[in-house]
């Protein structure tokens, strides 16, 4: 028999019901058991499945058009198919050490005469394509027009290179700017390009590893010797590297003077090796270089050319079995190329 001042079991249940319900509601929300959260998660999963099946809409970083593709749904393709075709990677016809572009793009990848005489300070070089057309415009927009969003887009071109993950890499570092130019520009375009490469390699990025200790003049209109003298002694390493492998990232390679000076500073600091990664490679313009021949020289032979300056290239006067572009390649001094037989 209950006392008058002793509450009944029913009263206790009613009294503590709100507290129990509140605790259960908090626990349910913490563990995702809220019915509303479950409905939202269900609808979100269905929408993600439909988006993945149909392909997500994405705006092209180059032309601004909206496109759909599976790569866009995964966030891997920042360019529409039309612009991606204009930004196709150079697969052949270049030197694997310095990136020199041969006049005939179908030539096999082989070392040029300059690299056979003297190898560059880096062990490997990766680049995406020639510095022309759409790729050149996008790099100029990134570098001089403040469009920093293009850094991640162009960085995906480099990070998607099939040989990137084969590089020995402990650290990724961009080619630095001098502090005065960094203050003037507000950002380092090489740093924006290096972020996707570091993510693809899965190694840390150290933007402060390499220092530009001396201000240099712009090298846009300088020749090879002037560029080399301009950047001589302009870089220093902030800390000893003690046998670590470094991936050096820059936007464009013209003569290689900047990359050579930066790589030399890393090697002087004790790096075991340096691999250079750039987005574009400028075609050499020296009159004695085998990349200086005009593209019209690679066109099929016509009778009019027999009386012009290239009359010696008449296929009728050349050994049988070699086509006209292959003859041009052989006479251009490309080491190791013998031509293909018909």
Question: How far is it, in rounded angstroms, from Cα 293 to Cα 328?
Answer: 9
Class at the top of the CATH hierarchy for domain 120-281 = alpha beta
pLDDT of amino acid 228: 81
pLDDT of amino acid 128: 96
pLDDT of amino acid 299: 37
Residue 111, judged by CB atoms within 10 A of its CB (0-12, 13-18, 19+), counts as middle
pLDDT of amino acid 214: 86
Predicted TM-score (pTM) of the model is 0.67
**Of all helices (H) and strands (E), which one includes residue 163?**
none
pLDDT of amino acid 216: 81
pLDDT of amino acid 212: 92
Question: Contact 83/134 with Cβ under 8 angstroms?
Answer: yes
Rg of the chain, C-alpha, whole Å: 30
Residue 326 phi/psi, 5-degree rounding, is -70, -35
Q: Please spell the DSSP secondary structure of 216-284, one letter per residue.
A: ----TT--HHHHHHHHTT-EEESS--SS-EEEEEEEEESSSHHHHHHHHHHHHTT-SEEEEEEEEEPPP
Would you list the domain boundaries of the chain?
52-61+69-88, 120-281
pLDDT of amino acid 112: 92
List the one residue out of 263, 256, 307, 310 whose CA is nearest residue 282: 256
Site of tokens 């908090």: 26
Question: How far is it, in rounded angstroms, from Cα 312 to Cα 289?
Answer: 19
Give the helix ranges, DSSP H, for the chain.
Answer: 9-30, 35-54, 70-73, 81-86, 113-117, 133-144, 149-159, 179-185, 189-201, 224-231, 257-268, 324-331
Give pLDDT tens digits for 83-129: 999 999 999 999 999 999 998 888 999 999 999 999 999 999 999 99
pLDDT of amino acid 10: 45
Neighbours of 178 (CB within 10 A): 15
How does pLDDT run along the chain (342 residues), one tens digit per residue? 445 455 554 445 444 444 444 444 444 444 445 656 778 787 877 776 666 555 567 789 999 888 876 655 444 578 988 999 999 999 999 999 999 999 888 899 999 999 999 999 999 999 999 999 999 999 999 999 999 999 999 999 999 999 999 999 999 999 999 999 999 999 999 999 999 999 999 999 999 999 999 888 777 666 777 788 878 888 999 999 999 999 999 999 998 999 999 999 999 999 999 999 999 999 875 433 333 333 333 333 333 333 333 333 333 333 334 333 433 333 333 333 333 333
List the one residue out of 261, 270, 198, 267 whose CA is nearest residue 230: 261
List the one residue out of 188, 202, 227, 211 whose CA is nearest residue 268: 211
Question: How far is it, in rounded angstroms, from Cα 332 to Cα 316?
Answer: 19
Which DSSP symbol is given to 94?
B
Question: How far is it, in rounded angstroms, from Cα 22 to Cα 110?
Answer: 73
């Amino acid at each position: 028999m209950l006392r008058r001042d002793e509450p009944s079991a029913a009263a206790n249940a009613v009294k503590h019901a709100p507290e129990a319900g509140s605790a259960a509601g908090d626990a349910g929300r913490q563990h995702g058991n809220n019915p509303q959260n479950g409905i939202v998660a269900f609808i979100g999963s269905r929408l993600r499945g439909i988006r993945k099946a149909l392909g997500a809409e994405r705006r092209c970083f180059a032309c601004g058009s909206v496109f759909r593709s599976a790569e866009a749904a995964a966030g891997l393709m920042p360019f529409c198919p039309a612009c991606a075709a204009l930004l196709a990677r150079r697969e052949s016809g270049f030197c694997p050490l310095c990136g020199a572009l041969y006049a005939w793009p179908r030539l096999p990848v082989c070392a040029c005469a300059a690299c056979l005489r003297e190898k560059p300070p880096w062990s490997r070089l990766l680049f995406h394509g020639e510095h022309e057309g759409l790729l050149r415009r996008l790099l100029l927009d990134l570098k001089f027009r403040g469009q920093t969003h293009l850094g991640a887009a162009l960085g995906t071109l480099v990070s998607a290179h099939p040989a990137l993950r084969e590089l020995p890499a402990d650290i990724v570092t961009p080619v630095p700017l001098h502090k005065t130019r960094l203050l003037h520009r507000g950002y380092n375009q090489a740093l924006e390009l290096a972020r996707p490469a570091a993510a693809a390699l899965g190694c840390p990025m150290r933007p402060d590893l390499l220092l530009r200790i001396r201000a240099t003049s712009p090298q846009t209109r300088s020749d090879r010797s002037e560029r080399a003298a301009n950047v001589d002694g302009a870089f220093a390493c902030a800390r000893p590297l003690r046998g670590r492998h470094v991936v050096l990232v820059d936007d464009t390679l013209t003569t290689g003077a900047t990359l050579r000076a930066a790589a030399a500073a890393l090697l002087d600091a004790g790096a075991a090796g340096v691999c250079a990664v750039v987005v574009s490679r400028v075609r050499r313009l020296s009159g004695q270089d085998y990349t200086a021949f005009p593209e019209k020289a690679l066109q099929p032979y016509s009778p009019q050319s027999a009386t012009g300056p290239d009359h010696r290239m008449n296929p009728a006067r050349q050994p049988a079995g070699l086509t006209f572009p292959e003859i041009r390649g052989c006479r251009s001094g490309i080491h190791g190329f013998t031509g293909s037989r018909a």
